[in-house]
Amino acid sequence: GYFMDRQKNTRFGKFRKMLIVGTFLCALNYCALWFGVAGASENLKLAIAYISYFLLGITFPIMDISLNSSLPLMTDDLKERNILSSVKIIGYGVGTALCGVVAPMLISNMGSDKRAYLTVIGAFIALVVVCSTGGTLGFKQNVRFKTEKHYTVKDLFKIITVSPVLV
């Protein structure tokens, strides 16, 4: 969030570039995770899983913080923002259901072999990239920034050291 706050507001919007970059970084991370473990030894699979999980903590927020920060820039109307946020949450839920329920069903119906696994995973990753990038290119930033106040590193430490955050 700290670095995204410092992005310049271009004619394409303030967060669009980071949202697209975050989408591709997440897709690359998922490719490394799901394709990397396909032929790896047990120890290598575990290492790939740990590294991918660590990278997910970095790559997903690039995408998610950019998306959440874009919502207030699409409309000033709180009701419309709530609807946009609900659509995002429903999209996450549908995506999770597709990956968790439909993908295993497809793989089992395709013969449960390595090729079926890789095909389904590749298709899901491609679908996420296409939908996320298409959605990102399709939204308009209708609200302009009124101020350009940036947080400093000192401000970050103040935020982090607040009691509820520490707890």
In angstroms, the CA 5 to CA 52 distance is 26
**pLDDT for position 156:** 75
Other C-beta atoms within 10 Å of 113: how many? Answer: 10
- Tell me the angle at which helices 16-36 and 42-74 cross, rounded to the nearest 10 degrees: 160
Percent of the chain with pLDDT over 70: 92
**Per-residue model confidence (pLDDT) at position 90:** 92
CA distance 82 to 73: 13
Tens-place pLDDT, residues 146-163 = 656 667 778 777 777 776
- How many alpha carbons lie under 13 Å from residue 105 in its C-beta half-sphere? 6
CA 56 – CA 86 distance, rounded (Å): 23
Residue 34 is predicted with a pLDDT of 81
Q: Which of 127, 123, 141, 125 is nearest to 67 (CA)?
A: 141
Average pLDDT (29-46) is: 82
Residues listed for the chain: 167
pLDDT for 18: 85
Q: Is the pTM of this model over 0.75?
A: no
Average pLDDT over residues 103-116: 77
- Tokens 């890789």 identify what position? 118
44-58 pLDDT, tens digit each: 888 888 898 899 888
Lowest-pLDDT range, 28-32, 113-117, 131-135?
113-117
Burial of 6 (0-12, 13-18, 19+ CB in 10 A): exposed
- Per the CB < 8 A criterion, the answer to whether 18 and 66 are in contact is yes
User: pLDDT value at position 112?
Assistant: 66
Distance CA 115, CA 70 (A): 38
